[in-house]
């Protein structure tokens, strides 16, 4: 069964900490994405990558960075966590064509910044 | 960017049919997706439309009109397990990325 795995289901961090959210997929997908999901706001795109070492800003990249050193792994980095980054973070991957099957999502990481 | 609108909440009765509408405004449109998301879980893929018309898959069907910027998801023979959030998403200017609507929370009642 194909999978997108996010390293943590729940995470609590302190304001100002550097936070790493890891995502690994085993489907040899070219594209990987990071979204955050908040009540009333839906899913908002933070960053995405269509190849190793490539990255593109989404709609809300401020306060975040990403790393993709290997095809299967896409990391989201909160350089200095703030309380307004408390959210559910969803990683997804897709084939480069992105047709027919859309995204496969990970189970999500619920991050709380205190 | 893209603007994707769908109703916030809907309620329907077990065994009935429900239609969830989605309108979108986007340039460079290249496909419309529907996802289902149960509370506390990740979204799962339901359907994809790139051409006008109806795509049927079991109890679920999805329709697209590109000229009207309009799609709907039709759920037949509703079951209690269909209570979930339904997300409309469109591909466009962000290359391979999808833009999502805020989701429609569907409650199926006995």
pLDDT per residue over A35-85, tens digit each? Answer: 999 998 999 999 999 889 999 999 999 999 999 999 999 999 999 999 999
- Compare CB distances from B95 to A40, A50, A102 and report the shortest one's residue: A50
Decide if pLDDT at B95 tops 90.
no
Tell me, rounded to whole angstroms, the distance of Cα B46 from its chain centroid.
8
Which pLDDT belongs to residue B101? 93
Pairwise CA distance, residues A38 & A113, whole Å: 14
Taking the C-alpha atoms of residue B22 and residue B40, their distance in angstroms, rounded to an integer, is 23
The residues, any chain, with a CB within 8 Å of residue A31's CB and separated by 6 or more, are A48, A49, A50, A93, A94, A95, A96, A98, B96
Q: Residue A100: pLDDT above 80?
A: no
Rounded average pLDDT over B54-68: 94
In the block, residue with structure tokens 């309009």: B70
pLDDT beyond 70 at B2: no
The sheet with strand A64-70 has its strands ordered as A4-6, A19-25, A73-78, A64-70
- Chain A residues with CB-CB distance to B48 below 8 A: 99-102
Of A40, A41, A58, the CB nearest to B97: A58
pLDDT tens per residue across span B15-31: 999 999 999 987 777 78
Q: What is the predicted pLDDT for the residue at A99? A: 55
- Comparing CA positions, the residue from A103, A65, A109 lying closest to residue A89 is A109
If phi > 0 it is left, if psi is from -120 to 50 it is alpha, else beta; for residue A64 that is beta
| A100: alpha, beta or left? (left if phi > 0; alpha if psi -120 to 50) | left
Whole-number average pLDDT of chain B: 91
Residue B59 confidence (pLDDT): 96
Q: How far apart are CA B50 and CA B41, in angstroms?
A: 27
Q: Tell me whether residues A99 and B35 touch, CB distance under 8 A.
A: no
Contact A101 B94 (CB under 8 A): no
Report whether B18 contacts B73 (CB < 8 A).
no
Q: What is the mean pLDDT of residues B82-110?
A: 88
- Rounded distance between C-alpha atoms, residue B86 and residue B81, angstroms: 13
Chain A residues with CB-CB distance to B99 below 8 A:
45, 59
Does B45 reach chain A within 8 Å, measured CB to CB? yes
- A88 lies within 8 A of chain B by CB: no
- B42 and chain A in contact, CB less than 8 A: yes
The whole-number pLDDT of residue A91 equals 96
Unique residue bearing structure tokens 């419309």: B32
- Half-sphere exposure at residue A85, Cβ-oriented, CA atoms within 13 angstroms: 28
Per-residue model confidence (pLDDT) at position B10? 97
Question: Which residues of chain B are within 8 Å of residue A101 when distances are taken between CB atoms?
Answer: 45, 48
What is the number of other CB atoms lying within 10 angstroms of the CB of residue B80? 10
């Amino acid at each position: 069964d194909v999978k997108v795995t996010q390293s943590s289901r729940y995470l609590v961090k302190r304001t100002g900490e550097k936070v790493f959210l890891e995502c690994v997929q085993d489907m040899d997908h070219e594209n990987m994405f990071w979204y955050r999901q908040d009540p009333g706001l839906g899913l908002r795109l933070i960053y995405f990558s269509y190849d190793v070492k490539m990255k593109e800003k989404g709609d809300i990249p401020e306060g975040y960075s990403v790393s993709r050193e290997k095809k299967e792994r896409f990391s989201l980095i909160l350089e200095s966590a703030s309380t307004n980054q408390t959210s559910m973070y969803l990683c997804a991957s897709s084939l480069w064509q992105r047709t027919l099957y859309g995204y496969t999502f990970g189970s999500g990481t619920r991050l709380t910044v205190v | 960017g893209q603007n994707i609108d769908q109703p916030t909440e809907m309620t329907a009765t077990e065994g009935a049919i429900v239609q969830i509408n989605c309108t979108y405004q986007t340039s460079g449109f290249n496909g419309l997706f529907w996802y289902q998301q149960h509370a506390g879980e990740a979204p799962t893929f339901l359907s994809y439309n790139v051409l006008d018309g109806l795509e049927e898959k079991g109890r679920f069907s999805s329709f697209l009109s590109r000229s009207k910027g309009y799609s709907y998801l039709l759920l037949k023979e509703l079951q209690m397990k269909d209570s979930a959030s339904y997300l409309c998403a469109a591909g466009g200017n962000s290359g391979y990325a999808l833009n999502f609507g805020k989701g429609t929370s569907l409650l199926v009642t006995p």
